[in-house]
Every structure is written in C-alpha cells, then in structure tokens.
Amino acid sequence: MNNNSFDSSKIDYTNLIAVDLNNGRLNFVAQDIHGTSLSGDTISVPLNKKDYFYLLAFFDYGCNGCEAVWSESSSRFGEINNGELIVILKDLPQLQKSEDLSAGSVTVVCSSQAWNDFKISNKSYVVVIHNRLVVTESSVLNFDHLLALEARATTKISQRQL
C-alpha cells in the first residue's frame, strides 16, 4: 500500500454506477486470463493471489473513455492501493499504437476470449476481482472512476469480513 494523494473517503458514490456481486454475476468464478502480449507472445495472467484485488480493465482503441483512462494512468499507477491493474484488449492493436500501451508498469493482454468469458459489451469497462469472485464492475470514464471502483470494492470486502 502507498500513501499517495487519492483519498477514498471523499468519493461521492452517488455518481458511480456499479454492479454488485448480487446483481448479474452471482457465483461467477474468474479464471486466469489467457491471450497474447503486445509483442505477440502467448501469455497467461493468473488471478490467484488470496486477499488481493485485480482490476480487469477491458479497453479498446477508438473508445474515448479507454483513452482517457490510459492517458492518465502512466503517471497514476501508484495510486492503485490494493491490487493490480490488468488491461485486456480485445484484439492485438496496430503496431504504432501498441507503443503507447507498453509504457508503464501494467500488464496488457490481448484476449477476445476474456471479453467473451466475462460477457463484456462496453469498451471502457472494469471488473474488480477478489479471491476469484467479481466484487463490483462498472464503465469508467477516467482514472478517478477506476480508483473509486477500487475503493468501493475494498469497502465491500472489509464490510463482509467484519
């Protein structure tokens, strides 16, 4: 955990639309993500760390929300306090655009199978996984939305453990 400037206690959740575990994906168990790296190699991303959050960001080119989150993310990755951001592209991007994605310390995997497995229809959508279960999910418009979704998931899990 780090102590960057983002304060989750100041989030106004009324404007954040998210789907809870009880709606839509009840008992959905997330499997490891299999696909292709930006360099074209076959990769697998395990989602098996206990008591750890995975923020699965389903992004695609031509999507304003995706590009807004991505443009902010390289300088803000350190603000993710309780987990790991994994960007999942539907297809391998064009070569000149993939250079933009390779900067930063985030895992990027191209996997249309993951999009199918999670039944993703939006291009700027984040699913938060904890102990292989979906905790919350939402479309995101910017990096603050992504952080708010992480904070919401953290709060939900801590309430369940009381």
Q: Give the residue, 20 or 42, on which the prediction is more confident.
A: 42
Please give the share of the chain, as a percent, with pLDDT higher than 70: 73
Distance, CA of 57 to CA of 85 (rounded, Å): 7
Output the average pLDDT for the chain.
Answer: 77
Residue for token digits 């206990």?
50
pLDDT value at 97 more than 60: no
Task: Answer for the pair 32, 45: CB distance below 8 angstroms, yes or no.
Answer: yes
Distance, CA of 137 to CA of 69 (rounded, Å): 15
- Nearest alpha-carbon partner for 118 in 43, 40, 58: 58
Q: Give how far Cα 18 sits from Cα of 14, 24, 126, 144, Å.
A: 10, 11, 10, 14
Stated pTM of the model: 0.78
Name the β-bridge partners of 42.
Answer: 36
Q: Taking the alpha carbons of 90, 93, 74, 123 in that order, is the dihedral positive or negative?
A: negative
pLDDT for 55-91, tens place per residue? Answer: 999 988 777 777 777 777 777 877 888 888 898 988 7
pLDDT for 5-37, tens place per residue? Answer: 445 444 444 344 444 443 455 567 888 999 998
Domains of the chain, CATH where assigned: 19-160 (3.40.30.10)
Q: What's the pLDDT score for residue 128? A: 92
Q: Give how far Cα 11 sits from Cα of 60, 70, 148, 155, Å.
A: 27, 21, 7, 12
Q: Give the residue, 48 or 26, on which the prediction is more confident.
A: 48
